[in-house]
């Protein structure tokens, strides 16, 4: 639920609760004060009437009594009925038009003192019966029934006024709180957008909220956080690049034995030729061709070798993974041959992958070097590749010493190595490169077989 809806709802709840509370309070106050007033008024009417009819009662003068009570009934609008009992305690006169109700004398008998007030719940609503002894200690009683309609009518009016006021306040309050909540939520929304950008890794930006409230403070904190994250990432990238360079040099060092081996053959041919030239009269055109071709071969070997030494920026291009694999096998063929390793290529047709060529080359080279180093006494090195939906799966499998359970958790950690001359950076670099390409890397290994699997998305 949006914040502004919550604020409007809160406003409605507060106003309705206040309306109900005020209504209840007013009801109690109005009811009790009106009742008190009605009772006082009834008492005074009863006493006046009692004085007026006292003689008629003593003389048993029905007509005068009836006349007096009819008089009062006609002049007071809140009176429902009046009745009077005589000296013997029987009903003497009353104002009931259609005969008096049975048990009327039991409604509110005046037993103690000169006055008794009773609230009666009748068909005509609540009636307050005020009973009065006309003569102290004697039977004759005067009863006046006061209608309570006036109270309920007033209460209804009060309730209506409160209800209408509540509705007006709700409408007005909703419009106001809508306006204010938008005013509050606007900077909040901007802040939310900004944090979304941060979560997407767009560090270094700023959100422009200048208010001096909590939202302003939060925005300032986020701005600082954004700058710090940017710096932090720059530092990480810097040290990562350094790490990558170090690792590259290490990998090149490992390759240098093969390189030396590869350069020695053409050099030997040239050396033999020049030795022969020293003893004979001159070089023939064929001899020159041999020298040129050997020099070309050395040039090609060095060019290919140097490719790995260059480029540590993240340069995306369309990369042919199978071509890289073949090139790697070529580059390492002397180590492979020296250690009697059997190379196997199981390559399927692959789509071009959008990736940084140099990084992928380095990652696969690190895996191949690890595999070669795991098989000092020979074995099989299998490189396979296949397409799987919009991903490419590459596996490097060796039949070497395997990775033991105890170190499986650690092999991707930087600087973890079991080799005397290892840096322990190889696999951590591979891991980082693959994650940088939004890919996955995993491995499985039993006692004497290890397979590293890399999954790369065709498009990053």
Ligand X SMILES: Nc1ncnc2c1ncn2[C@@H]1O[C@H](COP(=O)(O)OP(=O)(O)OP(=O)(O)O)[C@@H](O)[C@H]1O
CA distance 325 to 330: 9
> Least distance from C-beta 451 to ligand X, angstroms?
9
CB within 8 Å of 100: residues ≥ 6 apart: 83, 91, 94
Cβ-closest residue to ligand X?
Answer: 426
For helices 149-199 and 214-279, the axis angle rounded to 10 degrees is 20
Task: State which residue, 6 or 408, has the beta carbon closest to ligand X.
Answer: 408
Count the site residues for Mg ion by CB under 5 A. Answer: 2
Per the CB < 8 A criterion, the answer to whether 332 and 257 are in contact is no
Task: State which residue, 301 or 430, has the beta carbon closest to Mg ion.
Answer: 430
Q: What share of the chain is helix, strand, coil (3-state, %, to 5)?
A: 55, 20, 25
Beta bridge partners of 343: 381
Residue whose entry in the numeric block shows the structure tokens 């929304």: 189
> Least distance from C-beta 333 to ligand X, angstroms?
18
Q: Is 66 in the site for Mg ion (CB under 5 A)?
A: no
Which of 76, 77, 9, 84 has its CA nearest to residue 52? Answer: 84
**What single string gives the DSSP state of each residue in 67-135?**
HHHHHHHHH-TTEEEEEEE-TTSSEEEE--TT-PPTTGGGTS---SSSEEEEEEEETTEEEEEEEEESS
> Least distance from C-beta 452 to Mg ion, angstroms?
11
Task: State which residue, 143 or 401, has the beta carbon closest to ligand X.
Answer: 401
- With CB under 5 to 8 Å by kind, the binding choice for 335 among Mg ion, ligand X, none is none
CA distance 457 to 120: 88
CA distance 438 to 357: 15
Question: By the criterion CB under 6 A, which residues form the site for ligand X?
Answer: 250, 366, 370-371, 374, 398, 400-403, 411, 416-419, 422-428, 450
Q: Identify which range of 15-23, 34-42, 233-241, 425-433 contacts Mg ion by CB under 5 A.
A: 425-433
> Least distance from C-beta 364 to Mg ion, angstroms?
12
Task: State which residue, 45 or 341, has the beta carbon closest to ligand X.
Answer: 341
Cβ-closest residue to Mg ion?
Answer: 426
Task: State which residue, 33 or 448, has the beta carbon closest to ligand X.
Answer: 448
- If one counts every other C-beta atom within 10 angstroms of the C-beta of residue 29, the result is 11
> Least distance from C-beta 247 to ligand X, angstroms?
6
Q: Using CA of residue 357, residue 339, residue 249, residue 434, what is the dihedral sign?
A: positive
> Least distance from C-beta 337 to ligand X, angstroms?
19
Task: State which residue, 370 or 382, has the beta carbon closest to Mg ion.
Answer: 370
- With CB under 5 to 8 Å by kind, the binding choice for 424 among Mg ion, ligand X, none is ligand X
| Residue 300 structure tokens | 């090609």
CA distance 114 to 132: 6
Task: State which residue, 219 or 371, has the beta carbon closest to Mg ion.
Answer: 371
Task: State which residue, 151 or 403, has the beta carbon closest to ligand X.
Answer: 403
> Least distance from C-beta 415 to ligand X, angstroms?
8
> Least distance from C-beta 222 to ligand X, angstroms?
38
Question: x/- binding map, residues 358-377, to Mg ion, per CB under 5 A?
Answer: ------------x-------
Q: Which member of 131, 258, 426, 439 binds Mg ion (CB under 5 A)?
A: 426
Task: State which residue, 78 or 440, has the beta carbon closest to ligand X.
Answer: 440
- With CB under 5 to 8 Å by kind, the binding choice for 145 among Mg ion, ligand X, none is none
> Least distance from C-beta 426 to Mg ion, angstroms?
3
| Residue 10 structure tokens | 């809160």
Q: Where are the alpha helices (H) located in 308-353, listed in sequence order?
A: 321-331, 333-338
Q: Please report which helix (H) or strand (E) contains residue 318, including its range.
A: strand 316-319
Point out which residues bind Mg ion (CB under 5 A): 370, 426
């Amino acid at each position: 639920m949006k914040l502004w809806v919550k604020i409007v709802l809160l406003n409605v709840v507060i106003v309705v609760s206040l309306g109900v509370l005020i209504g209840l309070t007013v009801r109690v106050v109005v009811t009790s004060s009106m009742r008190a007033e009605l009772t006082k008024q009834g008492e005074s009417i009863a006493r006046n009437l009692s004085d007026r009819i006292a003689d008629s009662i003593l003389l048993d003068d029905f007509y005068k009594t009836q006349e007096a009570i009819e008089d009062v009934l006609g002049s007071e609008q809140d009176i429902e009925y009046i009745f009077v009992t005589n000296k013997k305690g029987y009903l003497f006169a009353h104002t009931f038009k259609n005969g008096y109700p049975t048990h009327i004398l039991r409604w509110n008998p005046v037993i103690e003192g000169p006055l008794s007030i009773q609230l009666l719940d009748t068909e005509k609503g609540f009636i307050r019966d005020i009973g009065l002894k006309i003569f102290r200690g004697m039977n004759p009683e005067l009863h006046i029934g006061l209608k309570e309609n006036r109270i309920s009518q007033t209460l209804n009016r009060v309730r209506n006024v409160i209800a209408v006021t509540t509705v007006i306040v709700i409408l007005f309050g909703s419009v106001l709180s809508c306006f204010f909540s938008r005013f509050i939520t606007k900077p909040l929304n901007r802040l939310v957008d900004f944090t979304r950008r941060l979560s997407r890794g767009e560090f270094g930006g700023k959100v422009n909220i200048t208010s001096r409230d909590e939202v302003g403070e939060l925005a300032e904190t986020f701005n600082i956080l954004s700058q710090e994250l940017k710096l932090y990432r720059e530092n990480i990238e810097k040290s990562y690049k350094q790490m990558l360079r170090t690792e590259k040099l290490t990998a090149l060092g490992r390759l240098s034995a093969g390189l030396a081996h590869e350069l020695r053959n053409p050099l030997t041919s040239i050396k033999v030729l020049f030795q022969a030239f020293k003893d004979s009269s001159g070089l023939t055109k064929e001899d020159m061709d041999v020298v040129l071709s050997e020099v070309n071969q050395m040039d090609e070997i060095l060019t290919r070798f140097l490719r790995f030494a260059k480029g540590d920026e993240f340069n995306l291009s369309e990369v042919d993974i199978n071509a890289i694999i073949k090139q790697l096998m070529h580059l390492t063929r002397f180590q492979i041959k020296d250690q009697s390793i059997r190379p196997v290529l199981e390559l399927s047709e692959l789509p071009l992958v959008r990736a940084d060529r140099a990084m992928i080359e380095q990652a696969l080279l690190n895996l191949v070097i690890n595999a070669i180093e795991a098989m000092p006494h020979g074995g099989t090195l299998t490189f396979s590749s296949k397409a799987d939906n919009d991903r490419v799966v590459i596996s490097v499998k060796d039949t070497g010493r395997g990775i033991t359970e105890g170190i499986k958790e650690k092999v991707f950690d930087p600087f973890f190595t079991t080799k005397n001359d290892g840096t322990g950076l190889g696999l951590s670099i591979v891991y980082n490169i693959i994650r940088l390409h939004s890919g996955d890397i995993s491995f499985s290994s039993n006692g004497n077989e290890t397979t590293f699997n890399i999954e790369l998305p065709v498009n990053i």
